[in-house]
C-alpha cells in the first residue's frame, strides 16, 4: 500500500509543479505545445488550440513542452519571423523566462501551505506534556527500536496503548512515565499489552529486556518511545496564518539541511545514511500514513517543500540552473553558447542520476 500512496503523492507534487510552469508560460504569451499527465509513451491526447493535452503511460507526474525552452543560448530563436519564434521561450524577456522557471517551485510552496492549513483545520495529532494532557490524550507509540521486544512483537507505530497487565498487576495510569515505571518493575515477567488499531482493540505478549536504555542499561524496557497525543484543531483563519508561518520555518529548515549536505559533500564528509531516496521515502510514507490522514498531509507538504528547494538550486538540469543561465545572459547581454548550455545540462543530469543511484543504494543497504 505504501508504494501506491508514494506514487500518488509524487504524481500530485510533480503535476502541481508543472502546472505552475504551464500557467505562467501561457500568461506570458509563450507557445505551449504539450501539457502531459504522466510520462511517455503517450496513451492518447486532445488538442485544444495550440496545446495538446496528453495522458501518458507512467503516472509519476507530468511535463510541459514550451516552444523553444531548450534553446537557451540559441540566438536564432530570438528573432520573430513568420514561423512564430517570437512566442518561443527564449524570444521573451528574461523577466518572463525567470517567472516561468520559478513558477513550479512557487506552486510547490503554495501547495505545502495549503496542505498544512487543511491539516491544522481538520486537527493534527500533537504531542503534549503529561501536565498539559487532558482526558482526550492517548498514550501513543511514536517509535520502535529495531530488534527490541516491541519490534519482535510487531507493535505498529501510531497506535494508542489502552492497558498493560503483568500477573495480577495492571497499569492504572496511561502516561509515558507510568508505563516506563510499570515495565521496569516487571522486567523479569511477561507483560500483556493492549492497544487500539483501526478501531479494534488488540493484544500482544512480550517480555522486557535490559540494555535498551543507553544511560540506564540495567533498566528493563520493551523498546518503544511514547508520547501523550491529542488532536489539536484550529479555526480556518488561524490555520491559514499558522500554516504560512510553518511553511516559512519548514522551508528554512529544508534549505539549511540541504546546504549542510552540499557543504559536507564538498568536504567528502556527507552522511548519506541521513538522506532518504525513493525507496526510503516509501517507508516514511508508510510510517506517516500509520499516524493518520493529517500526518500524511503534513508529510506530503514537507516533501513538496523539499522538491521546491532542490529545484531552485543553481545546478544544471534543475530549474535553478536554468534560472542561473537566464541571469548570466541578462548580465552579459548576450546568450550563452548553445553547446555550452547543452553540455552543462547533460553533465548536471548525469550527476543527479549518480546521486540518486547512491542514495537509493544507501536506502537498500539500510533495508538489508
Q: Are residues 103 and 79 in the same domain?
A: yes
- Name the phi and psi angles at 309, rounded to 5: -65, -45
pLDDT at 68: 82
Task: Give the confidence band of 77 by pLDDT, cuts at 50, 70, 90.
Answer: very low
Task: Give the confidence band of 82 by pLDDT, cuts at 50, 70, 90.
Answer: very low
Q: Are residues 185 and 240 in the same domain?
A: no
Task: Give the confidence band of 272 by pLDDT, cuts at 50, 70, 90.
Answer: low
Question: Would residue 210 show up in a list of annotated catalytic residues for this protein?
Answer: no
Per residue in 298-352, pLDDT (tens digit) is 999 999 999 899 889 888 878 898 899 899 888 888 777 777 777 787 887 777 7
Cell numbers 545540462 label which residue?
345
Q: Taking 70 as the threshold, does the pLDDT of residue 79 lie above it?
A: no
CA distance 187 to 113: 46
Task: Give the confidence band of 290 by pLDDT, cuts at 50, 70, 90.
Answer: confident
Q: Are residues 6 and 107 in the same domain?
A: yes
Q: Are residues 189 and 244 in the same domain?
A: no
Q: Are residues 240 and 351 in the same domain?
A: yes
DSSP class per residue in 269-333: ---GGG---HHHHHHHHHHHHHT-HHHHHHHHHHHHHHHHHHHTSS-TTSHHHHHHHHHHHHHHT
Lowest mean pLDDT among 140-144, 184-188, 239-243: 184-188
CA distance 304 to 287: 17
pLDDT at 336: 77
Annotated catalytic residue, options 18, 69, 230, 329: 18
Q: Are residues 186 and 68 in the same domain?
A: no
pLDDT at 368: 56
Which domain-ending residue is among 232, 259, 292? 232
Which domain-ending residue is among 208, 232, 256? 232
Cell numbers 549542510 label which residue?
260
pLDDT at 275: 63
* Residue 219 CB contacts under 8 Å (≥ 6 apart), including other chains: 184, 187, 210, 213
Report percent pLDDT > 90 for the chain. 27
Q: Taking 70 as the threshold, does the pLDDT of residue 215 lie above it?
A: yes
Q: What is the CATH number of the domain that holds 150?
A: 2.30.42.10
Stretch (H or E) spanning 55: strand 51-66
Q: Taking 60 as the threshold, does the pLDDT of residue 111 lie above it?
A: yes
Q: Give yes or no for a contact between 84 and 31, defined as CB atoms under 8 angstroms apart.
A: yes
Looking at the 3D structure of the chain, how many domains does it have? 2
Domain residues for 349?
2-123+236-367
Q: Taking 60 as the threshold, does the pLDDT of residue 84 lie above it?
A: no
Which domain-ending residue is among 172, 204, 232? 232
Amino acid at each position: 500500500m505504501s508504494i501506491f500512496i508514494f506514487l500518488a503523492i509524487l504524481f500530485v507534487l510533480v503535476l502541481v509543479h508543472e502546472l505552475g510552469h504551464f500557467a505562467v508560460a501561457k500568461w506570458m504569451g509563450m507557445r505551449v505545445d504539450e501539457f502531459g499527465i504522466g510520462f511517455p509513451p503517450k496513451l492518447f491526447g486532445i488538442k485544444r488550440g495550440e496545446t495538446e493535452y496528453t495522458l501518458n503511460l507512467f503516472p509519476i507526474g507530468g511535463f510541459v513542452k514550451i516552444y523553444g525552452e531548450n534553446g537557451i543560448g540559441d540566438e536564432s530563436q530570438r528573432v520573430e519571423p513568420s514561423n512564430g519564434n517570437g512566442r518561443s521561450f527564449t524570444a521573451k524577456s528574461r523577466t518572463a523566462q525567470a517567472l516561468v522557471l520559478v513558477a513550479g517551485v512557487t506552486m510547490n510552496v503554495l501547495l505545502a501551505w495549503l496542505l498544512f492549513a487543511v491539516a491544522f483545520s481538520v486537527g493534527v495529532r500533537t504531542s503534549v506534556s503529561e501536565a498539559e494532557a487532558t482526558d482526550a490524550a492517548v498514550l501513543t507509540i511514536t517509535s520502535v527500536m529495531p530488534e527490541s521486544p516491541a519490534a519482535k512483537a510487531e507493535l505498529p507505530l501510531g497506535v494508542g496503548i489502552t492497558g498493560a497487565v503483568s500477573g495480577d498487576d495492571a497499569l492504572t495510569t496511561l502516561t509515558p512515565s507510568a508505563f516506563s515505571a510499570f515495565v521496569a518493575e516487571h522486567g523479569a515477567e511477561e507483560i500483556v499489552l493492549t492497544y487500539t488499531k483501526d478501531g479494534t482493540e488488540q493484544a500482544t505478549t512480550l517480555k522486557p529486556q535490559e540494555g535498551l536504555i543507553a544511560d540506564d542499561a540495567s533498566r528493563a524496557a520493551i523498546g518503544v518511545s511514547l508520547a501523550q497525543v491529542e488532536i489539536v484543531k484550529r479555526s480556518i483563519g488561524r490555520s491559514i496564518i499558522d500554516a504560512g508561518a510553518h511553511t516559512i520555518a519548514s522551508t528554512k529548515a529544508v534549505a539549511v539541511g540541504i546546504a549542510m549536505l552540499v557543504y559536507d559533500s564538498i568536504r567528502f564528509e556527507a552522511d548519506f545514511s541521513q538522506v532518504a531516496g525513493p525507496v526510503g521515502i516509501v517507508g516514511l510514507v508508510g510510517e506517516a500514513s500509520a499516524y493518520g490522514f493529517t500526518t500524511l498531509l503534513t508529510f506530503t507538504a514537507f516533501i513538496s517543500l523539499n522538491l521546491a528547494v532542490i529545484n531552485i538550486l543553481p545546478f544544471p538540469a534543475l530549474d535553478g540552473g536554468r534560472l542561473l543561465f537566464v541571469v548570466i545572459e541578462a548580465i552579459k547581454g548576450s546568450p550563452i553558447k548553445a553547446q555550452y548550455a547543452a553540455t552543462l545540462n547533460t553533465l548536471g543530469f548525469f550527476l543527479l542520476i549518480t546521486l540518486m543511484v547512491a542514495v537509493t543504494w544507501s536506502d537498500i543497504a539500510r533495508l538489508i
